[in-house]
Amino acid sequence: MKKILILGAGKSSIYLIDYLVEHAATEQWEITVGDLTTELALAKTKGRPHTTAIAFDIKDEDTRRATITAHDIVISMLPAILHTTIAEDCLLLGRNLVTPSYISPAMKEMDEAVKTKGLIFMNEMGLDPGIDHMSAMQIIDELQAQGKKITSFRSHCGGLVAPESDTNAWHYKFSWNPRNVILAGQGDGGIKWKENGDVREIHYPQLFSHTSAIDLGADGVYDSYPNRDSLKYISEYHLDDVETMYRGTLRVPPYCEAWDCLVSLGYTTPAGKTTFIPKEEAIAQLDLEGRPEIQYMLEEIGVFDAANFPHDVPPAESLQKLLEHKWKMQRNDKDLVVMVHEIDYLDGGTRHHIQSSLYLTGQDGEHTAMALTVGLPLAIVTKLILKNQISLRGVLMPKHKEIYEPVMRELGQLGITFREIVT
C-alpha cells in the first residue's frame, strides 16, 4: 500500500481528493487528509473507503514529522508561505512532495539536496502555475522540433465567474483564495516583461493601469494585467531569442480600472492603519467625475462607507472581509476558467500566429472549474510519481516532456482541452 498525505482541504482540494479516492482501490493507495480540524477534513473525505481525516497543526513539529514519516508522498495545499516548512521535513525524512505553488527561493535552494536524496519536489502543478506551463511547452517544443522560430509568447489566465452567475458590476466572484486576489501583484521583486525587444518594468501602484485587451470572440473580451516576473520564463521555456515574453492575469473590463482606484486609495495595503477617504474626496482624488460606472462599482462594494474601514485594522484586511461577503460564490453559482496562449513564429520567411485557448465552466459553487484545473494535475502527477513513471529528480516544475505529456493527455481525456487556431 502507498500512503498519500494531503495537507489542506480548502476550495481547490475537492477534485484532487475525489480523483485519488476513485483510484485508491485499484492503485492500492491509502489517503490521509489533514486540515485545521478533523471536521474540515472529513467534509472532503466523506468517510469513504481508503480515507482518513485528521486535524493537522503545522506548528506541532513532533506530530507533523511523525505524520509525514507515516506517508510516502505529501501534497501540500497549504498557503504557499508554509510550503517551506513541509519541504524541509520531506527532505529530512526522505518523502516526495507536490504543491500547486510557484517555486520560492527557499524551495529552489533545496534542489541539489533533493536530487542527492533521489526525491521529487514537484511545484507549480495546478492551473496557473501548472496547466499554463504544460500547455505552452507542448506548443513550444513542437514548433522548435520543426525548426520554427518563436518571436512572441503571450499567455493569460483568469479565474472568473461564468456569465450566467455574473450578478455584480465587477463581473467577479471568488473561486480561490481571496487573500491572493486582494494582494495580487504585491510582494518581492518588480513586475517585468519583454515587449518587442524592450524590457518593461513597473511597480505595484502602476499594475492595474497597464492592461491589454484580449478578444476571444464569442468567448468574450478581457483585460490582461502583467503577472509577476515574466522574464524568468524566457530561459525556462527555452525562448532565448524571443522578442516578446508576457504572462498576464485576465479580468472582465472595467474590473482593472476600478481596482486601480482601490490601489490608489490605499485599500489594498496589507499592513498599518487605515485612513478612510470620504466619497466626495475619493471621487475628486481619482478624477471620477465623468465615470459613473466606476463610481457605482466602488459604491456597490461599500468603499464609501466608513464603517467598513476601521482605522485600527490594516486596509487590505478590511477590504478582504468586505469582498468575501460581496463576492462569495453561492451554492448554484458557476465559475469560469479562461486561459489563452498567443504565439507568433516564423516558418521560413512567413509569419504565423497561434491562439490556443481553454474556456471551462464549473458545475456549482463547490465543484468549480478552478478546483478541477488545480486539483486534477496535482492528482495525476502524484499517480505518476507513485508509479515511478518520472525519472527526473530535484525541485521541479512541469515544463519537461516526460511530465507534461502524460498529464496533458489524461487531462484531455477528462475534458480539459484547448482549442487552437493557427493563422
Task: Tell me the pairing of strands 149-161 and 191-195.
Answer: unpaired
H or E segment at 357?
strand 350-361
Using CA of residue 140, residue 143, residue 148, residue 152, what is the dihedral sign? negative
Are the C-beta atoms of residues 242 and 194 closer than 8 Å to each other?
A: yes
Q: How far apart are CA 49 and CA 68, in angstroms?
A: 21
Q: What are phi and psi of 201, to 5 degrees?
A: -140, 130
172-204 pLDDT, tens per residue?
999 988 999 999 999 777 899 999 999 999 999
Output the average pLDDT for the chain: 96
Residue 164 has pLDDT above 90, yes or no: yes
What's the pLDDT score for residue 236?
95
Q: What integer is the mean pLDDT of 383-396?
A: 98
Q: Is 422 helix (H, G, I), strand (E, B) or coil?
A: strand
DSSP code of residue 418? -
Q: How far apart are CA 186 and CA 379, in angstroms?
A: 30
353-373 pLDDT, tens per residue?
999 999 999 999 999 999 999
Task: Tell me the pairing of strands 244-251 and 221-226.
Answer: antiparallel
Query: Nearest-CA neighbor of 110 among 395, 415, 316?
Result: 395
pTM for this one? 0.93
Q: How far apart are CA 132 and CA 129, in angstroms?
A: 6
Packing angle, helices 279-286 and 292-300, rounded to 10: 140
Q: What integer is the mean pLDDT of 236-262?
A: 97
What's the pLDDT score for residue 246?
98
Amino acid occupying residue 228 = R
H or E segment at 326?
helix 315-326
Residue 217 has pLDDT above 90, yes or no: no
Sketch out the chain's domains with CATH numbers: 2-126+366-415 (3.40.50.720), 131-361 (3.30.360.10)
What's the pLDDT score for residue 233?
95
99-113 pLDDT, tens per residue?
999 999 999 999 999
Q: How far is CA 130 from the centre of its chain?
A: 8
Q: What integer is the mean pLDDT of 26-47?
A: 96
What's the pLDDT score for residue 204?
95
Angle subtended at Cα 184 by Cα 368 and Cα 416, rounded to the nearest 5 degrees? 30
The contacts of residue 339 (CB under 8 Å, 6+ apart) are 127, 128, 131, 132, 135, 155, 156, 157, 158, 357, 358, 418
Q: How far apart are CA 261 and CA 257, in angstroms?
A: 7
Q: What integer is the mean pLDDT of 283-306?
A: 96
